[in-house]
Amino acid sequence: MFDNLNNVWYLCINFLPNVYLMEIKKMMKKHLITCSVILVLAVIFKLNICSTETKKIPVKTTTNTHQILRYIYTVNDAANDYSFADEALPQNDAKVNRKLRVIMKKHDYKNIQSNILHVKAEKWFPVIEPILKRYGIPDDFKYLPLVESGLKEGISPKGAAGLWQFMPGTARTYGLKVNKGKDERLNIRKATIAACRYIKDLHDEFKSWTLAAAAYNNGSIKLAKAMRAQKKVNYFRMHLNKETGSYVYNLVAMKEIIDKPVKHGYPAFYAYQPLTDLVAYN
C-alpha cells in the first residue's frame, strides 16, 4: 500500500504544476490535523473507559405489604366503655370523647324529661329484635329507629316514612310497596325486614357496622365519595355533615339511656327488659 502511495506522490511531484502541488499539500495538511485530533480523542476516551471502575448501584426492592387498618376498636379495649355493634368508640381520642359527652348529655333525663322512648322501645323492640337476629344484623341496630324517628310513624318533609324512615325509592328497592293505596313502610315487620336487607348490603360494601349506620343516614354514594375525598376509612376520623357526623354517637347515647336509664337520670322502672324466645309478628 505504501509503495502505491509513494508512486502517486512521485507522479504528482514530477508531472503536476506547482499550483496543484500546493493545493494538494494544503488538503493533506488539513486532513492530517483532523485525523490527528480524532485519534487523540479516541485514545483519551479509551483510557477513561479502562481506568474508570464501574460501581454497582444497589437497587432497593420494595415489597407490597398490606397495611392493616385499625379503624374498628374492640369492646374489650380497656379505654373503650361505649360501643355500637361490638365496635367501640375510641375514647382515648379527646375529640371523640368530648363529642360523646356532649351528645350523651342531650339525651339524659334532665333534657328529655320524658319516658316516651322507653315506652316505645318496650312496645316495638320485641318485634324488631328477632328479625335482626334472623338476618344476622347486630342487635344494636334496634336503636336506629329511635334515632331516626323517635319511633313515630308518619311521613317526614323529605318523604321518608315509618320507623326506619325509608325513602320511597329505597323502600321499593328492598321489596316494600309504596303507592297511593298502600305504604308498607308503616308496617313494622315488613319495614324491619327491608331495613335488615339494606343494612346487610351496606355492611358488605363498607365492612364496618359504624360505617353501615352512617351510610344508612347519609346514603352509600355520599359516604363513599367522602371517604375517597378524605382518604379515610374511619368514621370517627372523618369530617361529615352535622347529622351524619353525630349519627353513631346518637345511637350509642340511645343505647345507653335505654339500657342504663338510672345512670342517666331516668327512674329505674324505665329500664327495658328484653324478652326471651321472641316471636316477630305484624
Q: What is the pLDDT of residue 158?
A: 86
User: Three-state DSSP class for 83?
Assistant: strand
Residue 12 to residue 25: CA distance in whole angstroms:
11
| Domains, the chain | 2-51 (no CATH), 93-270 (1.10.530.10)
Q: What is the pLDDT of residue 28?
A: 57
The percentage of residues in the chain with a pLDDT greater than 90, rounded to a whole number, is 51
Lowest-confidence region among 90-94, 147-151, 240-244: 147-151
Given a cut of 50, whether residue 131 has pLDDT beyond it is yes
Given a cut of 50, whether residue 132 has pLDDT beyond it is yes
Angle (CA) 264 269 272, round 5°: 80
Q: What is the pLDDT of residue 55?
A: 45
Once rounded to an integer, what is the mean pLDDT over residues 191-212? 98
Which residue has better confidence, 216 or 268? 216
Once rounded to an integer, what is the mean pLDDT over residues 239-252? 96
Residue 199 to residue 202: CA distance in whole angstroms:
5
Given a cut of 90, whether residue 168 has pLDDT beyond it is yes
Residues 6+ apart with CB under 8 A from 223: 206, 211, 214, 215, 240, 244
Given a cut of 80, whether residue 269 has pLDDT beyond it is no
Residue 252 C-alpha cell reads as 350509642
Q: What is the pLDDT of residue 22?
A: 59
C-alpha torsion 45→47→53→57, nearest 10: 0
Q: Mean pLDDT highest for which of 5-9, 74-78, 238-242?
A: 238-242
- Please give the backbone phi and psi of residue 89, each rounded to the nearest 5 degrees, phi first: -75, 135
Given a cut of 50, whether residue 281 has pLDDT beyond it is no
> Whole-model pTM?
0.69
Which residue has better confidence, 53 or 126? 126
- CA 98 → CA 31, 79, 101, 102, 207, distances in Å? 89, 14, 5, 6, 26
Residue 4 binned pLDDT confidence (cut-offs 50, 70, 90): low
Which residue has better confidence, 281 or 23? 23
> Could you tell me which of 119, 78, 82, 73 has the C-alpha nearest to residue 103?
82
DSSP state of 88: E
Structural contact between residues 211 and 178, judged by C-beta atoms closer than 8 angstroms: no
Given a cut of 80, whether residue 192 has pLDDT beyond it is yes
Q: What is the pLDDT of residue 150?
A: 74
Indicate the average pLDDT of the chain: 79
Lowest-confidence region among 2-6, 31-35, 240-244: 2-6
> Could you tell me which of 216, 214, 253, 217 has the C-alpha nearest to residue 232?
214
Residues 6+ apart with CB under 8 A from 158: 167
Given a cut of 80, whether residue 102 has pLDDT beyond it is yes
Q: What is the pLDDT of residue 153?
A: 59
For the stretch 11-58, pLDDT in tens is 455 544 554 545 555 555 555 566 565 665 665 655 655 544 444 444
